[in-house]
Structure 1
């Protein structure tokens, strides 16, 4: 296993901070996924107020649009800043910077112009946690990639398949976000069972394509931090999609039982 990893992943960078952050990222994000399955949700979207009913602590609620901008804008700005902070002639580093910046730029544009929001919101604590995770992940991935310059390349070069996977993830995620947005008019705030695309197979195809996008970035990077972040993200989105499917089953009697959470026919 170690020899296989060494053929596709750069050696750990000469940075204790990046190495520690890699492990912390994996454990923390995967832990959030397990919490989702156990019913302790990050409080945004349909789950924004579930945990607040069990807490006596006063919580600040943001509008959905404001909360989601807090999620994504700092990470997007980190990506933009990296073109100044890390000038280079290394194609792999350039692609990591471009893909991360595009990913969070797309998410920001969707928040502003695509998503249609219910009456739910985002609890400030969850907004800060998610924003910090995305910002630190973007900064750490780019810095970790910068530290690989001058190192021998891994034996197996995955950056071009990674670009294809990233593009598939970006466009698949956007397509399913557009389908979700089409379910509501501006005055319609209610949730509905989504249809079209892969919604007939899984309730969260937008999460599935988000996973593919991050796997694409991992393939482009081939470094330790994106590996840990991507594994953690897969566990988290499995937990979030599992909780989402459970929520739909509880709210809609006609929700099709054969629709899975995240992976068609499997999970």
Structure 2
């Protein structure tokens, strides 16, 4: 069966729960009402009815201590079944204050979100080496924002020890520590509120640093020697007299002097 009840009741007022059970007229069926998993004992202000598959629990006067999960549990020789609902009891003053608070919040929200977000500082592309630190900066007007989201290649970014983002007063930055090759790609920052959304994008380019030998000048002078590796993996020493004959060769490897 199912248990039906309103979630909020006034203190000292009545509260009503009911459910329907099958099979009807089972003499072996035992019905229990529980409050926070503890059996409810009959009392002057409690009334329990179990007739022809109809079960009900009535509080003539509900107190704050009655708040909790109310469960109707039925047991027969075939097994156990139960259904639950929540009882919340508040005094009249709390009900009035809570209603006023909700109304004030609703009015404030309309006043606060007077404009949709607008981009005021666009992110720039960043080029870094492996192991370096990369940072993207952006800012928006039209506060407050209900949401600011950072994406990497279309996937939402979450804060970690290595990838960190911070937002304050409409400005934000994303910092990535210990750059890895997988960090390269397109980054975007999206700001939104109930009136609209805007975003900006930038690219992170990660390049590999080459060795100092590979970055040295490859111009050779007379008398110097060039070592190269051919496609047959043989290493040969070529003197300066032979340099003119190398322009047609496919040379790979490192040049040394």
TM-score in same-fold range (> 0.5): no
The structure showing larger relative contact order (alpha-carbon pairs under 8 Å, at least 6 residues apart) is: 1
TM norm structure 1: 0.18
Larger gyration radius, structure 1 or structure 2:
2
Pick the structure with more strand per residue. Answer: 2
* Higher helix fraction (1 or 2): 1
